[in-house]
Amino acid sequence: MYIVLYTITVKPNQEDNFIEAWKGLTTLIYKYEGSLGSRLHKKDALNFFAYAQWPDKNTFDNAGNNLPEEANSFRSIMKASCEKFEVLEKFETIEDLLKQQQSE
């Protein structure tokens, strides 16, 4: 598995817009680009971290060409709602001991 770690600083009063756009874009990337999903974490009111999981580096490197037009709307909202959105690190997973959630 390949992991990409992001740091995000959201503009004041834009948290909800950012989170909804992040969820929408992440869902499309999962559906159309082969990602394994992403998790978003909140550090404080305006600072977030996210990490995206990919099956491998090659899938990540080649992603982006299969997204529907709707993705551009989510990207625009994210860009407008963020002060900073940057990649902190990219790395390979060696071991994965996170417990998978059970479906209800």
Q: Is 104 within the bounds of a domain?
A: no
Q: Is 98 within the bounds of a domain?
A: no
On average, the pLDDT of the chain sits at 94
Domain count, the chain: 1
Q: Is 20 within the bounds of a domain?
A: yes
Please give the Cα distance from 60 to 87 (Å, whole number). 13
Whole-Å CA distances, 77 to 49, 59, 60, 97, 100: 18, 25, 22, 34, 31
Please give the Cα distance from 96 to 98 (Å, whole number). 6
Whole-Å CA distances, 5 to 13, 56, 78, 89, 94: 24, 14, 17, 5, 15
Q: Is 99 within the bounds of a domain?
A: no
Write the pLDDT tens digit of every residue in 32-41: 999 999 999 9
Q: Give this prediction's pTM.
A: 0.88
For residue 55, give both structure tokens. 């099956």
